[in-house]
Copies of this chain bind each other. A is one copy, B any other.
Amino acid sequence: MVSTLINGIETLDIDAQDRGFQYGDGLFETLRIRAGRPCLWSLHLARLAHGCGRLGLPMPDEILLRGEADRLCRGEADGVLKIVLTRGSGGRGYRPPENPTPTRLLARFPVPDHPPENRTQGVAVRICDTRLGLNPALAGLKHLNRLEQVLARAEWCDIDIAEGLMQDIEGNIIEGTMSNLFVVQAGILRTPELSCCGVAGVMRARVMAEAGALGIPVDESRLGLHDLTAADELFLTNSVIGIWPVRRLAGRDYAPGPLTTHLAAAVDMCND
């Protein structure tokens, strides 16, 4: 079974001069595979294209990319597909080549073995010490410069803590190390705005769209620790896990609430 394709070829090797390796000069997407197909394909492709525009990377041909994705997903009941796109090799130091030949990596993995109760009963979450830097030029992008997340995720090894929330250097709550955060306050769905840092997740966008369609008011704004304390419900999202309610954070217990449950059911289908 093919599990990795690099520029369409079955290999596990990257050129050591690839700008992805040298500078983190690229983007990635992590998709859920269900019933032999990559989930939320259009949303992931749209984000990749947006990131390419912001970094000045040529977007790969979408039919080619889908063909390679299908080759890896076919026959897989469940799994994870990671797509990495870099500016390839070449250029002079940091200066990108004028006509880059991007590197396109697609790799299939098993779904991480998170306890199934994470979805139903929720997860315990901590607040990380590592802060997110502020950089509007890169904010929102799922780029390859991920040292902040690595340092934050290295802070704990207690397997009962499923995720860590990160603040920016000014103390705003932004996201989890690998997930976005939603807060329900008095019937309003709130999520941190990501103009200065953070990753604008595909599942985050999907949840916001679902909420909008259900007539639930959605508010993207600055959130602080006090907003977590004051929340009726908290939940985390990403494309692989879907929605995880938060059941414990900073000494407070939360019950999975009705809005979380409602949205989890609404987004819990691979379509698109």
- Chain A interface (Cβ within 8 Å of chain B)? 4, 6, 11-25, 28, 55-56, 84, 86-87, 92-96, 98, 105, 107, 112, 130-138, 143-154, 157, 169, 177-178, 197
Contacts and interface: CB of A to CB of B under 8 A. Distances in A.
A94 B178 contact: yes
Contacts of A87: 150
Given A15-B13, A16-B13, A25 B94 contact: no
A23 B55 contact: no
A23 B147 contact: yes
Contact of A24 (B55, B107, B147): B147
A23 B21 contact: no
B145 A147 contact: yes
B153 A147 contact: no
A94 B150 contact: yes
Contacts of A137: 130-131, 133, 148, 151
Contacts of A178: 93-94
A244 to B, nearest CB: 15
Q: Select the residue from A6, A56, A154 with max chain B CB neighbours within 10 A.
A: A154
A23 B146 contact: yes
Contacts of A107: 16-17
Contacts of A136: 131, 169
Contacts of A16: 4, 6, 11-14, 84, 105, 107
B93 A22 contact: no
29 contacts: A12-B17, A14-B15, A14-B21, A16-B107, A20-B21, A21-B21, A22-B28, A23-B24, A24-B24, A24-B144, A25-B146, A55-B151, A87-B150, A93-B112, A94-B146, A94-B149, A94-B177, A95-B150, A96-B150, A96-B154, A133-B134, A133-B138, A134-B169, A135-B135, A135-B148, A136-B169, A137-B148, A138-B147, A144-B147
